[in-house]
Structure 1
């Protein structure tokens, strides 16, 4: 006869492992504690914040391609040839036109005779691409939150006819002409850790706007900044050929990657995004994902210093701002930044519609510097604009730190044009940046700004460093494959005239003469 199995409860109890039966009280307590935490903390948002100041964390560079020629030697006529599978290229464009996502295409590139396989390229820009067409389909304004970032090129996708003021050029882009498109090239997108002469990324700049077809205005601006001791990206011209198509002379510009950050010292580099605002939105870093992107030292540092700066600028009284800005920002450096943007007639700086700037946080001084970026709208305003005038693409604006755009005579805006968010106001389209606006409006910093202005004017204009750079770059560009000699001559002459007029106009200004 079979043994009595006992009551159902006993049978179930003996099926539970011995160790679990011995410690059931402890287990029950743990479960109850977890349940209580869920109930009590269920409405609390948990946000990961890294505050460690451990050693700098870089994406590990495993291999650096040395190349044969310094890529950013501006006196050399460089060469760059790309090849890719046409099907990959078309898939990338189909995706962009459908969703706005900028996917990378795998390419083989030969730079100054050095072949590098499996390099990534993707479209770069924001409103620049609004006028882009692909197989007859027009593009729409896309917000770029990726590595290339929003350049603010050609605000709102505007198309302009040539006229005399600043050398406007018509922006017209077509996927059938890849040699003319704006690109971001990544050497490590498909080969993690690879660099080319220390660079993980380079920008291939688009023609048009202030620099005509040659982008000479951007190259001259970078040269002038460098001559004046201001932080600037390196640059050079190259003959650019894609899949056997006609060669086009293009401007290469160093992209502010980790290599660029290292050149600035020991600190953290943050890119401002065109989708963003310089406004305090609380302590949660995820609230700023449309505003700033961290470039280097990820993992060992975070966005906390930027949030603290934005909060302080937002909340400080006028007296506190005047007394303590130097605790947060390198005042002399910022004065030089603001002065340089005015001198170069940069309509689209940190206060412009593209919000084109980087923030550099020095880990030694615990202060910020503003680093300029994207200079394809420099030399686009009135040569007579004074030190305290707002930069305006259509002419002289009033005092203040914001940028203003009044369409000049002859400018054609696309049908249905609407300015990007935050880029509107009476008498034209406006942007702005509270840090720059408060700085320029505070009497305590007037002497700093004007002293920086005089010094930079002396180097860039009185000593003709801008004009000399133009002559040198024009001479080099004439030797670059794919150069349009007539366009280069016209663009150079227009820019030369504007530099001469600005030099003369400012020489008589009271700020320069004081």
Structure 2
């Protein structure tokens, strides 16, 4: 009994109460450990976002596309090798620290990482590509080092001929450049990069931008990515919300200087292009646009909220998905304008068709943003990632949906039959993949490839989006879509804006250190040919000729 006096007197007096509290905590722990915690935002504030403490002004507007810019990156080789180790072992795209100089302005300790998904499947290191299932090694999910035999007996080393006599990439005979760039870790100046200004220094921006993307050459625009630059030029000239862009010389450590396209990465700064208060949501490549219940965490692989985090949430998007999925045809026609800016959406759909951009909201990359206006309670669909624009068939009609390499299917309805490709067209190899997208982009053999609504039945990676399909299939909205199509055709092709944009962009690129005059000239002429063919083909289409 003498031992009890070693216990403080306060504890001896209140031991029953303390034991009761401990028992209660134990019960709570056991009971709540199996209950999922669902984050909901009850605030209706129209403010939000990270705090910016240092916005670097620089000396030249970074996205002045009329200026030849200069970017220099310096990082430690050991850090770069560790980044590659992580990517090859786990598929992780980790940031490393680098010192950056933009147009003469030094910015120390920025974060840089590899950018892209399927783009990086061609990334080799010491002659080998990543060895992991489902990673960049191969579209079929099997490890595939350079030179390894595919299941069909064809080999896929860089540039090696396949057993059917074709090169290991898709070919194009209808005017546009069409290839997939092979990347080498030993040439970091050619890789796709994401540069983040606040990764290692909180609150820092450069001219309001948190991130910028350094694009890689490849499908659609050759090594110069002229197709994306021309597309962004045309969108901006027409008053559409679009990413800013510019060409720059690009030097990494002591490697040779190359000419690269840099593009604004849609973040909080991108939302400033919209009038009024609203919320910006990004569709992810794994998005299905299908109802997955009320738990917002269930949509984590579908949409990412960009702005108003902490004051707004994903509920408006969930409500839209549910309504599109359940509304009758009559309800869809009568009530869509209450939920979507219909005129803007008609222009969006017309732009994607006219520009032959099959990898839009209905494509394998699910490339679009949603802007939710807090005043009108309506959404606007915003396009982005146009590195595959001008990659289809010049003969694609206003009511035909494009596919990779020029094939297309009639109408906006899921499961519509595929149209015949142009004469002489060489179809893409099924093993070829998209930059920032998924394998088998044409839908041939891929789940949901025939346009499963919203990608829900076919799963991520297939083509189709229920909202776009229902809109284009509706007789009620046919007129507004065709009116938008005729107007944009006149401004884009008939009035010569597209050809003028190619000329201006190619001329600008030729002044950038590291550019190759021959390559620029060839890519520009290829794009001009496709634009001329498209202009001529659509001129006789009844949608265009109808007065």
Question: Is the TM-score greater than 0.5?
Answer: yes
Deviations 1:463-491 (A, max 9, x none): 22221111111110111111111111111
What is the distance in 1 between the residues matched to 2:72 and 2:347? 38
**Alpha carbons of structure 1 residues 502 and 318: separation in structure 2 relative to 1, 3 Å:** same
What is the distance in 2 between the residues matched to 1:406 and 1:276? 29
The structure 2 residue matched to 1:500, chosen from 521, 532, 539, is: 532
Deviations 1:380-419 (A, max 9, x none): 1111211100112233322116798999516445499963
2:421 matches 1:400 = no
Determine which structure has more spread, i.e. the larger CA radius of gyration.
1
Q: Equivalent residue for 1:455? A: 487
**Alpha carbons of structure 1 residues 405 and 304: separation in structure 2 relative to 1, 3 Å:** farther
The structure 2 residue matched to 1:249, chosen from 241, 259, 263, is: 259
Instruction: Give TM-score, length-normalised by structure 2.
Output: 0.83
What is the distance in 2 between the residues matched to 1:388 and 1:111? 44
Deviations 1:314-352 (A, max 9, x none): 111211111111121111111111111001000100000
CA contact (8 A) 1:167 1:380 kept: yes
Q: Equivalent residue for 1:442? A: 474
The structure 2 residue matched to 1:352, chosen from 316, 341, 363, is: 363
What is the distance in 1 between the residues matched to 2:481 and 2:172? 34
The structure 1 residue matched to 2:128, chosen from 132, 137, 140, is: 137
The structure 1 residue matched to 2:113, chosen from 115, 122, 130, is: 122
CA contact (8 A) 1:383 1:502 kept: yes
Deviations 1:426-457 (A, max 9, x none): 9xx94111111111111111111111112211
The structure 1 residue matched to 2:288, chosen from 268, 277, 301, is: 277
CA contact (8 A) 1:217 1:495 kept: yes
What is the distance in 1 between the residues matched to 2:493 and 2:274? 26
How far did 1:209 drift? Answer: 0.7
How far did 1:30 drift? Answer: 6.8
Displaced runs of 4 or more, over 6 A:
11-14, 27-42, 401-407
Q: What SS is found at the alignment partner of 1:137?
A: coil
2:189 matches 1:179 = yes
Q: What SS is found at the alignment partner of 1:350?
A: coil
**Alpha carbons of structure 1 residues 252 and 120: separation in structure 2 relative to 1, 3 Å:** same
The structure 2 residue matched to 1:205, chosen from 211, 215, 225, is: 215
How far did 1:255 drift? Answer: 0.6
CA contact (8 A) 1:401 1:433 kept: no
How far did 1:508 drift? Answer: 2.1
How far did 1:20 drift? Answer: 7.8
What is the distance in 2 between the residues matched to 1:82 and 1:253? 17
Q: What SS is found at the alignment partner of 1:219?
A: helix
CA contact (8 A) 1:211 1:377 kept: yes
Q: Map of 1:74-93 to 2, 5 A cutoff?
A: 74-93=65-84
What is the distance in 1 between the residues matched to 2:223 and 2:111? 25
Q: Equivalent residue for 1:149? A: none
Q: What SS is found at the alignment partner of 1:220?
A: helix
Q: What SS is found at the alignment partner of 1:214?
A: coil
Deviations 1:272-294 (A, max 9, x none): 11122111101111111111111
CA contact (8 A) 2:174 2:530 kept: no
Instruction: Report the count of equivalent residues.
Output: 491
Mind listing any 5+ residue stretches in structure 1 that lack a counterpart? 144-156
Q: What SS is found at the alignment partner of 2:220?
A: helix
Q: Map of 1:78-117 to 2, 5 A cutoff?
A: 78-117=69-108
What is the distance in 2 between the residues matched to 1:31 and 1:406? 74
More deviation, 332-341/387-396: 387-396
Q: Equivalent residue for 2:440? A: 419
CA contact (8 A) 2:74 2:253 kept: yes
Q: What SS is found at the alignment partner of 2:400?
A: coil
How far did 1:267 drift? Answer: 1.0
The structure 1 residue matched to 2:496, chosen from 464, 467, 473, is: 464
The structure 1 residue matched to 2:378, chosen from 359, 364, 367, is: 367
What is the distance in 1 between the residues matched to 2:504 and 2:432? 40
More deviation, 363-372/499-508: 499-508
